[in-house]
Chain A
Amino acid sequence: MVAEKEPLGLSKCSDKMPKRSKLLAPQALPVHPPHALVSEGFTVKAMMKNSVVRGPPAAGAFKERPTKPTAFRKFYERGDFPIALEHDSKGNKIAWKVEIEKLDYHHYLPLFFDGLCEMTFPYEFFARQGIHDMLEHGGNKILPVIPQLIIPIKNALNLRNRQVICVTLKVLQHLVVSAEMVGEALVPYYRQILPILNIFKNMNVNSGDGIDYSQQKRENIGDLIQETLEAFERYGGEDAFINIKYMVPTYESCLLN
């Protein structure tokens, strides 16, 4: 019956265009109903027949956060830092107007760390290079300041800006080797520092057998995080590994086994 009727119906419809379009229209309807009711999931609305459930919104774990004006910038513009910029053949360098040994680390080191959030020249350069010089020449003056450095470090990492994370990770690697016991002193603060590292740990490029140039330039965040965690473990004493593992469950020890 049906097989007989169908060709008949089609041949009849073929010279009447409006009818044919009416036949086709219901096929497209279930896919994208024009008057579909868009609703959130797990609501009464969502159970209605003509409703389309919207997917969950992106959580935004990798989204960059807006920057706030930093105290570092304010102090620099006010001329409070005893530093000057020197251009030389190799790049830029900081000329210190006073000896680093005579600086008050409790005041200046947290301020420079605050500058880690900066992304523009010259603030970014001064913060990075200033921290480098102060850590290199600080010796035993660094350890007592550690508790004051945690919040600036956390703020910088929380921006989730790739460039800022890169610089902060390199600073952290320098920090743990800058003086004795600094690695151990950081262990209680892993809760503040490591969550962001956990988020970005797998941010690696799977380029097959291609060349990933960010490795050469040390800008690959996944690799930098791995290096940083290994440095934490090496210099953090015996409690370091278990504390890292607690915050970054996918981390495997580089010392055990």
Chain B
Amino acid sequence: MASSEVKPKSVSRAKKWSEEIENLYRFQQAGYRDEIEYKQVKQVSMVDRWPETGYVKKLQRRDNTFYYYNKQRECDDKEVHKVKIYAY
């Protein structure tokens, strides 16, 4: 498995919304831990982002379908605590 190359050491939950959390939320919706795992699994060097906001725009899921995200914030306050932050 490609994901076995780098394993996270610890995990914590997000408390407050930020742009980083927003992006993590988008990766986790698509079924990845974060950008690092996405790049490992999909073997890509770049992630599609919205030029205006810098949020993730398009992700390919493990079953090769695509998830598209909005230009604006998608992670509501009530969703923030579901986001996991992995530390390596």
Residue of A nearest to B75 (CB): A90
Those of A180-229 within 8 Å (CB) of chain B: none
B20 at the interface (CB under 8 A from A): no
Number of interface residues of A (CB under 8 A): 16
Q: Let me know if A88 and B29 touch, CB within 8 A.
A: yes
Which residues of B, 34-88, contact A by the 8 Å Cβ criterion?
A: 57-58, 61, 63-68, 70-71, 79, 82
Which of B61, B68, B70 gathers most chain A CB within 10 Å?
B68
A257 in the interface (beta carbon within 8 A): no
CB distance from A207 to the nearest CB of B (A): 28
**Pick from A89, A97, A100: contact of B68, CB under 8 Å:** A100
- B79 / chain A contacts, CB cutoff of 8 Å: 89-90
User: Could you pull out 16 A-B pairs where Cβ atoms are within 8 angstroms?
Assistant: A84-B65, A86-B67, A88-B29, A89-B82, A90-B29, A90-B79, A93-B29, A95-B66, A95-B67, A96-B65, A96-B68, A97-B64, A97-B65, A98-B66, A136-B68, A136-B71
Contacts of B82 in A (CB 8 A): 89
In the assembled complex, the Cα of A133 lies from the Cα of B82 at a distance in Å of 24
CB under 8 Å from chain B, chain A span 74-106:
84, 86, 88-90, 93-100
Which listed residue (A88, A90, A100, A136) contacts B66, Cβ 8 A? A100
Tally inter-chain residue pairs, CB-CB below 8 A.
35
A137 at the interface (CB under 8 A from B): yes
Q: CA separation between A32 and B11, bound complex, in Å?
A: 83
Beyond the given A90-B79, A95-B67, could you list 17 further A-B residue pairs with CB under 8 A, ordered by the A residue number? A84-B65, A86-B65, A88-B29, A89-B82, A93-B67, A95-B61, A95-B63, A95-B65, A97-B64, A97-B66, A98-B66, A99-B66, A100-B68, A133-B68, A136-B71, A137-B57, A137-B68
Within the assembled complex, what's the spacing in Å between the Cα atoms of A132 and B70? 9
B27 to chain A, nearest CB (A): 13
Query: Are A96 and B66 CB-contacts (below 8 A) given A89-B79, A89-B82, A136-B71?
Result: yes
Shortest beta-carbon distance, A77 to chain B, in Å? 20
CB distance from B65 to the nearest CB of A (A): 4
The residue on B at minimum CB distance from A136 is B70
Which A-B residue pairs are the 8 nearest by beta carbons? Answer: A95-B65, A96-B66, A133-B68, A97-B65, A137-B68, A99-B66, A84-B65, A96-B65
Q: How far is the CA of A137 from the CA of B64 in the complex (A)?
A: 19
Q: Report Cα–Cα, A136/B48, bound state, in Å.
A: 14
Once the chains are docked, how many angstroms separate the CA of A118 from the CA of B32?
34
CB neighbours of A133 from chain B (8 A)? 68
| A133 to B65 alpha-carbon distance, docked (Å) | 14
Q: By the criterion CB–CB under 8 Å, are B67 and A99 in contact?
A: no
Most buried by B among A90, A97, A133: A90
Chain B residues, CB < 8 A from A94: 68
Query: Closest B-chain residue to A95, C-beta based?
Result: B65
Determine the residue in chain B with the shortest Cβ distance to A98. Answer: B66
Q: Nearest CB to that of A132 among chain B residues?
A: B70
A84 to B57, CA, bound (A): 18
Known contacts A89-B79, A89-B82, A90-B79; A99/B58 CB under 8 A = yes
Cα–Cα, bound, A121→B66 (Å): 22
Residues of B within 8 A of A93 (CB): 29, 67
